[in-house]
């Protein structure tokens, strides 16, 4: 089978076939796809498109780690494709799409740091895009939630230690008091921050 024949099997009027069938056929022909290079731009473009769609289907299907690997492959292929100018890649819809799905995969893996970096890049390229801005707010909400759980964990651990140590270590009782106050204040601040970001998100979604 040639790259063109494979491409024709995976698309109907330039639209991908059923995602499950698409992924099965793509995976069965990994060797053929991996051998494509820039000596044949038509085959390279076909393999690039198939890899983009395969990577997106993986992310949509919940295969986030594997999806990231193929999203990175798809991005690299697009960045190497001679007709695409590197400083104009975001003018290409498919490039924007695979970058967005990579950010979603990181978010779903709770890797908010890397997701935030990608969404910042998308917002820089598309400053008026409300979807990317709303995802940044979701990341902020998740970070506040994480800090709240840490604060609650510190308070619980301090209370448990205090119950066991206060008779033998009187000084710890005073220290525990200040730890509880600081943890409570930090948790409360994070709770307020979370509420503020959630209100921003609600207002944005209502627009």
Q: What is the CATH number of the domain that holds 80?
A: 1.25.40
Beta strands in the chain (DSSP E): 11-12, 15-16
Quick one: 119 and 139 in the same domain?
no
pLDDT digits (tens, 9 = 90+) for 140-188: 999 999 999 999 999 999 888 877 776 677 677 778 888 889 999 999 9
The confidence score (pLDDT) of residue 166 equals 67
Residue 121 reports pLDDT greater than 60: yes
Compute the distance between CA of residue 136 and CA of residue 119 in angstroms, rounded to an integer.
7
pLDDT digits (tens, 9 = 90+) for 56-96: 999 999 999 999 999 999 999 999 998 898 888 999 989 99
> How would you write 117-138 as a 3-class SS string?
HHHHHHHHHCCCCHHHHHHHHH
Among 63, 96, 126, give the residue marking a domain's end: 126
Quick one: 25 and 97 in the same domain?
yes
Q: Number of folded domains in the chain?
A: 2
Instruction: Measure Cα distances from 137 to 3, 105, 190 in Å.
Output: 42, 16, 14
Quick one: 60 and 158 in the same domain?
no
Range of the domain at 60: 3-126
CA angle 59-4-27, nearest 5°? 35
pLDDT digits (tens, 9 = 90+) for 18-51: 999 999 999 999 999 999 988 899 999 999 999 9
Quick one: 18 and 112 in the same domain?
yes
The confidence score (pLDDT) of residue 159 equals 86
Among 80, 99, 126, give the residue marking a domain's end: 126
Among 126, 142, 166, give the residue marking a domain's end: 126
Quick one: 49 and 107 in the same domain?
yes
The confidence score (pLDDT) of residue 99 equals 97
């Amino acid at each position: 089978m040639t790259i063109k024949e494979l491409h024709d099997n995976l698309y109907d009027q330039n639209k991908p076939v059923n995602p499950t069938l698409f992924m099965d056929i793509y995976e069965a022909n990994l060797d053929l796809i991996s051998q494509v290079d820039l000596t044949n731009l038509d085959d390279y473009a076909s393999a690039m498109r198939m890899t983009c769609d395969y990577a997106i289907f993986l992310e949509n299907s919940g295969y986030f780690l594997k999806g990231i690997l193929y999203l990175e492959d798809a991005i690299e292929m697009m960045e190497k494709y001679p007709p695409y100018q590197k400083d104009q890649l975001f003018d290409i819809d498919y490039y924007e799409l695979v970058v967005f799905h990579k950010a979603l995969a990181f978010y779903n893996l709770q890797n908010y740091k890397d997701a935030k970096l990608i969404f910042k890049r998308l917002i820089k390229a598309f400053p008026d895009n409300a979807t990317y801005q709303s995802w940044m707010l979701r990341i902020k909400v998740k970070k506040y939630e994480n800090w709240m759980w840490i604060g609650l964990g510190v308070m619980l651990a301090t209370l448990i230690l205090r119950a066991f140590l206060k008779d033998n270590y009187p000084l710890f009782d005073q220290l525990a008091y200040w730890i509880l106050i600081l943890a409570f204040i930090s948790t409360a601040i994070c709770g307020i921050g979370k509420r503020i970001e959630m209100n921003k998100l609600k207002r944005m979604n209502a627009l």
